[in-house]
Amino acid sequence: MTWTISPETTLEALLEAFPDLENEIQELMPALAQFKNPVLRKTFLSTATLEQVARIAGRSAAEIVLKLREAAGQADPGDSGAQASVSEPEVVERIDADAMLAAGVHPVGRVRQACSHLAPGEAVEMSVGFRPAPLIDLMQREGFKVTCETAPAGGYRIRFSRA
């Protein structure tokens, strides 16, 4: 095994490398059992990263990754270096896309400009009332890592960071 389980690891890659971890994954994310349709299950497994699974499960990515590393024999349970490798990037700028749109300004330019100045370990966070799929796709094509989660007050919180 030449790679280490990380927040960016997809469930598909994890299960290909460690098929015996399926029960552990089911325990960490019981909602996965709801994917009974083989096509939907395959699609979800091939695209869902452990970071996304953690958000769905209401857990931290560090917790999920550390438990799976431990189960796969990749980390000592007390390994603080593993914890550090899954830290979230620091948000250096926040953009309220709903306010911009209400003022008649499209946030794409602002997001791109803010992201162009990001250093490793930094992120731009945008809040918006809807999932902006075209912007997410654009930023991913431009090489940025994009995470999207439901905000507690409704809408979405999207983070853009260097991939």
pLDDT at 76: 53
pLDDT at 59: 76
Q: Which of 14-28, 75-89, 119-133 has the lowest mean pLDDT?
A: 75-89
pLDDT at 131: 85
Better pLDDT: 125 or 155? 125
pLDDT tops 70 at residue 129: yes
Q: Locate tokens 């926040």: which residue? A: 94
pLDDT at 82: 45
Residue 51's SS3 state is helix
pLDDT 10s digits, 14-59? 888 888 888 888 887 777 767 667 777 777 778 888 888 777 777 7
Q: What is the pTM of this model?
A: 0.51
pLDDT at 75: 61
Better pLDDT: 3 or 154? 154
Q: DSSP letter string over 53-117?
A: HHHHHTS-HHHHHHHHHHHHT-S-TT-HHHHHTTPPPEEEEEEEHHHHHHTT--THHHHHHHHTT
User: Which domains can be identified in the chain, with CATH numbers?
Assistant: 11-84 (no CATH), 90-162 (3.30.110)
pLDDT 10s digits, 91-119? 999 999 999 999 999 999 999 999 999 99
What are the backbone angles phi and psi of residue 148, rounded to the nearest 5°? -130, 125
Residue 118's SS3 state is coil
Cβ(72)–Cβ(18) under 8 Å?
A: yes
